Structure formats: structure tokens, C-alpha cells
Amino acid sequence: MNEITKRRAVYTVLSEVIDGDQLWEVMWRWQRGYAAKSQYELHGFFNDCRHIAEISANRSKLYKDLIGLLMGSGDGLREDPYGLMEEFSDRASSVEDVGADDLLAWQQALVCVLASLLRQIPPEQLQTWRGRVEERAQQQGVAADLVYAFSRIMLGKPHNVDMVFSPLQLKHLLNQVYVVMCEMFGPVQADKQLAQAVERANRMQPGGLDARKLLQQK
């Protein structure tokens, strides 16, 4: 079975449960890590995607369906999504070309914003807030390692800044942080606190990445 057919099968199955950027991120994860591997490695792929609620909840069915499609005649497969994956990839990196150093700058900016936010959350609500952010981030498909790093930052413990996350993932996490702030403190307060955190983050790291880029969507 060639790679295109395998990609179409993965796409057909996954698009039943997830969509949008999350789908393309998962497709790229498969493309980069599993496209060249045998179908016996698919458990590993689903394991990598366990932080996505829709996948972990339907894991056995998705696996079964995918194997069924890979073993079948190719009927019912959706069109090859590679063009759409490339579009996503272009979009994700269109903010600017991101090199390894830049990626670290993005992460550093996020750490600064989160650290600033940490100072603004009432201490008695901090634990609830952190728990909700973690829960929501996992539900929304933020990489498990990034959620873990977030928890470490919020607990004031050393975080794994040496790991590299895409700007898209970092933005995605910050958005979940914002949504939980809206839900807990109201959107007015959330906007104010986020603006202050971004402003403070920029002061904390002069010459670093403008933290406002973490809020830029297009």
C-alpha cells in the first residue's frame, strides 16, 4: 500500500472525530512520524494523540476502522489531504519563518506571559484556575508535554523549556488560558489581566519576541 492511500485512510478516519487545525496537526504528526512505518506502529500513533479527547475516547473504534480501511479495497476513502495539510503548514508558519532559536524565543515569551499572569490570579483561586486550564487544554488538543510544562510553570517548578513547541501550539495554550480566565473572572477582567501580562512580559525581556505575537491569529 502506498503512502498516499495510507494518508487518505488516516484522514478519512480522523476527520470523523476532529477537524480544523487540530486535524491538520495530527495529520502532520502521522506524516512525520508514522507515514513510513508499518500499520503495526499505529498504536504508537494513537498513543501520541491520547491528549486529544475525541481520539482517546474513540481509540479502539478509530484503530479498528483504520485497519479496516488499510486492509480494504480503497473504496470510501476521502481525497488525499496533502494539499490541505500544506496549506495549514504554510499558514502556521506564515507569521514568519521560525528557526530553532526563534522557537525558543516564542516559548520564552509565553513563559513570561504566564509568569505575569500568575502574579495576577488571586492565590485562593490559583489551583482551580490551573486545574481548569489543564483540563481544557487537554480537551482542546494542546500537546500533553506543553500542558505538563504549563503546570510546572504555574507551580513555580523548573519547566522543560528545552523541548520545542510550535508557535501554533503556544498560541493555542494561551488561548485556553484566556478562556478559563473569562469563565472564572469574566471577560473584562480577563482582557485586562492578559493585556497587563503581555505588557509586563515585553518589559521583562527587552529585545525578546514581542509577546503580542502570541495573540496574533493571522
Interaction of residue 217 with another protein, rule CB under 8 A: yes
**Candidates 3-11, 39-47, 157-165, 183-191; binding stretch for another protein (CB under 8 A):** 183-191
* Distance in angstroms (rounded) separating the CA atoms of residues 44 and 26: 13
190 touches another protein (CB under 8 A): yes
Q: Does 76 bind another protein (CB under 8 A)?
A: no
CB of 135 to another protein, least distance (A): 11
* Residue 66 touching another protein (CB under 8 A): no
Q: Which stretch binds another protein (CB under 8 A): 49-57, 77-85, 96-104, 170-178?
A: 170-178
Binding region for another protein (CB under 8 A): 171-172, 175, 178-179, 181-188, 190-191, 194-196, 198-199, 202, 210, 212-213, 215-218
